[in-house]
Chains A and B, each alone.
Chain A
Amino acid sequence: MLLDIRSLSKTYPNGTQALKSLTFAVQEGEFVAVIGLSGSGKSTLLRCINRLIEPTSGTILFDAQDVTHISGEALRRYRRKIGMIFQHFNLIGRTSVLNNVLMGALGSVSTLDSIIGRFPPALQEMALRNLEIVGIAEKASVRADTLSGGQQQRVAIARALMQEPQLLLADEPVASLDPATSHSVMRYLGYINRQLGTTIICNLHFLSLVREYATRAIALRQGEIVFDGSPSEITEEWFRHIYGDDAVEVEIR
């Protein structure tokens, strides 16, 4: 078992209960899609896993190690094992694509070396290899903010791959992309999951994408798990249960 989450809760200082006692486990090699309305707690869940947000209560076990309360160097070592990509890509726009990818390796380079830009040749080669994996190696020396949205997300994936992550968290990775680009980005995530064996937990809005790429779906509704199973089991009835009676499914082709 790679990730074991027990009674995880998060209450924000303003009183919002984002997560209410979630319990689930993720096996190595799974591609888990987390679905649910905006505000159902998907983003909070992902950020609790790599501790960008502090959970209020509950336990997170990663590789059978309790990481709920680690801090400092131990927390940084833990984060290095987990890559993350974001809806808005979060690249550093003013620097080159290659530098952006190298930032994924900051944890394994000393602070001084990274600040004066001395990344070992092995890392530079690895960065180029990762850019090749996402099919964008020819853009290595281009400024990141000149790329299209889909290209920027692929750079972000290459950056996450620098960590050689055991787990990849993807927070709405295609929500600000057009349908065609969405599929391209999802295909790269699928490739990384199957070919590199990286476990993926991905927040998604479109059920059609969930059915096509995920091996498992977890649905959140107001901070609680209301569905956990195979994407093919999400019927019309389940859909109404997850998204409310007024919802209509939209497909992305």
Chain B
Amino acid sequence: MKQRVYQFLVDWLAGTYLVTILHRIVWLELIWGNDQSPRLGTDIGTTLVSGIPDWMTYLSIGVVLAIGATYSNVSLSLLLRGKLDRSMWQRAAALHVASLLLSLTFITGWIVTRISLVDMISGERLSAAGRIFSSLLQPEFSILPQALSAIIETVYLAFMATVLALPSSFVLSFLSARNLMRGNLWARTLYTLVRAVTNFTRSIEPLVWAVIFTVWVKVGPFPGMLALMVHTISSLAKQYSEQIEDIDPGPLEAIASTGARPLQILWFGVLPQVFIPFLSFTIYRWDINVRMATVIGLVGGGGIGTMLNQYQMLAQWHEVGLIILVIALVVWVMDYVSARIREALQ
């Protein structure tokens, strides 16, 4: 029963999507070239809202299609779940519907992103491209000292974000490791809670955190560091906890059987097994944070990103070229060094 309801919902969704695209894109845009109706790409918001009665129609036609799919078994849901046999005509029909949906999605995507080869290779555009590339390739070395001091700020910022995140990540990782937290109801509740919070904070990009913190503590390296730190806490906690879930339970059992206390079991049974991977993850995270810190500067998070933002706004492309060069070099070096350290740790 539940399966049938899901099957109907999937087919309903697919049917509605098909009808919507056919009407909005193929009929109104492609066939009529309707200039009066707002273009989907230019103002998708109003297109969506203004069409409330239309949506009702689409949904109703979707229902009809889904009912048809249920009776004829030409169902995308059945196809996806592998329920349609190779010999059945329904399979061929459903495959056709699927490829139709895919092509329509591609066409819609083309229109919505307003892809235009003319904008890339017309004479005027090409000369603009030539201007920026030639400027970028002739970096202005007179600002090298400032760029270097800015990138050093970035590296330290990333380092502090990683180090300050460490203790919290460490504690949270144990609380969000399933194999350690299935003891009693208390442990399981705490596990679920910690998981929910870290999953939520991790799903928000550091860039967004940086925007929040620049309002909170004013523009500069400090909010950038805070933004990276928040993201690092939840990212490392997740990586750490996955490592803890992967450990060999044998030593834990052995330590527990000696009558050791819970903290001793953690210290002697878990830690030795995860210490090296933890260290390796942490170094890698610093490396990631350096890369992220260059971007975070763009929204006022300090370091080389802020400097890049300033010159970019003034359209001083020679200076931008130098900054990009410095970033690329430092990121490359960090990447190389962290890879070598992690190799040595194995």
A107 and B260 contacting across the interface, CB-CB below 8 Å: yes
> Does A78 count as interface, using CB distance less than 8 angstroms?
yes
Residues of A within 8 A of B256 (CB): 52, 79
Inter-chain contact A88/B257, CB cutoff 8 Å: no
Query: Does the CB pair B269–A92 fall under 8 Å?
Result: yes
Give the size category of A's interface with B.
20 to 34
In the assembled complex, the CB of A12 is this many whole angstroms from the nearest CB of chain B, namely 14
The answer for the CA separation of A77 and B272 in the assembled complex, in Å, is: 25
Tell whether, in the assembled complex, residue A79 and residue B259 are in contact, meaning their CB atoms are under 8 Å apart. yes
B295 smallest CB distance to A (angstroms): 38
Contacts of A50 in B (CB 8 A): 257
Q: Are the C-beta atoms of B263 and A76 separated by less than 8 Å?
A: no
Q: Indicate whether B253 reaches chain A with its CB closer than 8 angstroms.
A: yes
Question: A95 contacts which of B260, B263, B272 (Cβ < 8 Å)?
Answer: B272
Chain A 88-105: CB-based contact to B (< 8 A → 1; otherwise 0): 111111110000000111
Q: Please tell me if B258 contacts chain A, counting CB pairs below 8 Å.
A: yes
Count the B residues whose beta carbon is within 8 Å of the partner chain — how many?
A: 21
Q: B residues within 8 A CB of A42?
A: none
B257 A115 Cβ-Cβ under 8 A: no
A103 neighbours in B (Cβ, 8 Å): 254-255, 258, 260, 268
Query: A111 near B: Cβ within 8 Å?
Result: yes
Q: Tell me the nearest residue of chain A to B265, going by C-beta.
A: A106
> Which of chain A's residues has its CB closest to B268's CB?
A103
Min C-beta distance of B249 to chain A, whole Å: 9
How many whole Å from B311's CB to the nearest CB in chain A?
50
Interface string of A31-75 (1 = CB under 8 A from B): 000000000000000000010100000000000000000000001
B188 to chain A, nearest CB (A): 14
Residues of chain A contacted by B264 (CB below 8 angstroms):
106, 111, 114-115
Candidates A75, A92, A104, A115; contact of B258 at CB < 8 Å:
A104
Q: Which residues on A sit within 8 Å (CB–CB) of B248? A: 90
* Known A-B contacts A92-B268, A92-B272, A95-B272; A82 and B251 likewise in contact (beta carbons under 8 Å): no
For B267, the chain A residues whose CB sits under 8 A away are 114-115
Whether A76 and B261, one on each chain, are in contact in the complex, defined by CB atoms closer than 8 angstroms, is: yes
Cα A8 to Cα B14 with chains together (Å): 56
Q: Are B257 and A82 in contact (CB under 8 A)?
A: yes
How far, in angstroms, from A107 to B257 measured CA to CA in the complex?
10
* Chain A residue at minimum C-beta to C-beta distance from B251: A90
Is B123 interfacial (CB-CB < 8 Å)? no
Is B250 an interface residue, CB under 8 A from the partner? yes
Q: Is A86 an interface residue (CB 8 A)?
A: yes
* A91-B251, A114-B267 known; A76+B257 contact, CB < 8 A: no
A90 to chain B, nearest CB (A): 4
Given A106-B268, A115-B264 in contact, is the A77-B259 Cβ separation under 8 Å?
Answer: yes
Contact B254–A79 (Cβ < 8 Å)? no
Task: State the CA gap A115–B267 with chains docked (Å).
Answer: 7
CB under 8 Å from chain B, chain A span 153-189? 156, 159-160, 162-163, 169
> Given the complex, which residues of A lie within 8 Å of B261, measured CB to CB?
76, 106-107, 111
Chain B residues within 8 Å of A88, by CB: 250
Alpha-carbon separation in the docked complex, A89 to B254 (Å): 9
Say yes or no: is A216 at the interface (Cβ < 8 Å to chain B): no
Q: Which of B234-282 contact A (CB under 8 A)?
A: 248, 250-251, 253-261, 263-264, 267-269, 272-273, 275-276
Q: Within 8 Å of chain B (Cβ to Cβ): is A80?
A: yes
Q: Which residue of B lies closest to A95 (CB)?
A: B272
**Is A225's CB within 8 Å of the partner chain B?**
no
**B263 A111 Cβ-Cβ under 8 A:** yes
A131 contacts B by Cβ under 8 Å = no
Min C-beta distance of A191 to chain B, whole Å:
21
A76, A91, A156: which has the most chain B beta carbons within 10 Å? A76
Q: Are A115 and B254 touching (Cβ within 8 A)?
A: no
Q: Which residue of B lies closest to A88 (CB)?
A: B250
A156–B267 alpha-carbon span in the complex (Å): 18
In the complex, A84 has a CB within 8 A of chain B: yes
Q: Tell me, in angstroms, the Cα distance from A179 to B117 when the chains sit together.
A: 74
Instruction: Tell me the complex Cα distance, A87–B268, Å.
Output: 20
B252 closest partner in A (C-beta): A90
Give the chain A neighbours of B268 by CB distance below 8 A: 92, 103, 106, 114
Task: Report 23 cross-chain contacts, Cβ distance below 8 Å, ordered by A residue.
Answer: A50-B257, A52-B256, A52-B257, A76-B259, A79-B258, A80-B258, A83-B257, A88-B250, A89-B250, A92-B251, A92-B273, A94-B276, A103-B254, A103-B258, A106-B255, A106-B268, A107-B258, A107-B259, A114-B264, A115-B263, A115-B264, A115-B267, A162-B258
- Please give me the 5 A-B residue pairs with the lowest Cβ-Cβ distance, nearest first: A107-B259, A80-B259, A79-B259, A90-B254, A90-B250
Residue numbers of B with Cβ under 8 A of A are: 248, 250-251, 253-261, 263-264, 267-269, 272-273, 275-276
